[in-house]
Amino acid sequence: MSSAGDETGIKFPYSTIAYVMQLFFRVIQPYVDKLMEIVEVSVNYDVGESGKGYFSLRLSDYPEDKRKDVLRVLYGIRDNARLTAAIIRSLGFDVDVKASARKGILMLWRKRVSKSQKEGE
């Protein structure tokens, strides 16, 4: 029995982060669906083989009277993004999660470089 990483030549961190992001999307899908009932949403992500990646959820402008509804849903997505970031961080990546009630959510990650690796460059 071989792993997907063996068949595709993809190294462990990439395939693991891709799997984590699949789980993340399954968890936030009901939130995104609810958010789409209130405001236009754009979701993008990239799990790069180079050790860098991002997740972006952008919101269009919405009326002030919808703010409370948007925030309620956005907090659920933000909390799940932070939990996902903790998992990615445990795999040896630096992760940053930013959330904005007006703009949306942005999660960036890159492979952590140790001091010995930096000195070897």
Q: What is the pLDDT of residues 51-70, one digit of tens each?
A: 788 999 999 999 999 999 99
Distance (Å, whole) CA 24 – CA 10: 20
Query: Taking the CB of residue 42, how many other CB atoms lie within 10 A of it?
Result: 10
Task: Judge contact between 54 and 108, C-beta under 8 A.
Answer: yes
Give tens-digit pLDDT for 101-110: 899 999 999 9
pLDDT of res. 32? 95
Q: Phi and psi dihedrals of 104, rounded to 5?
A: 125, -145
The mean predicted confidence, pLDDT, of the chain is 83
Query: Taking the CB of residue 99, how many other CB atoms lie within 10 A of it?
Result: 17
Distance (Å, whole) CA 33 – CA 73: 10
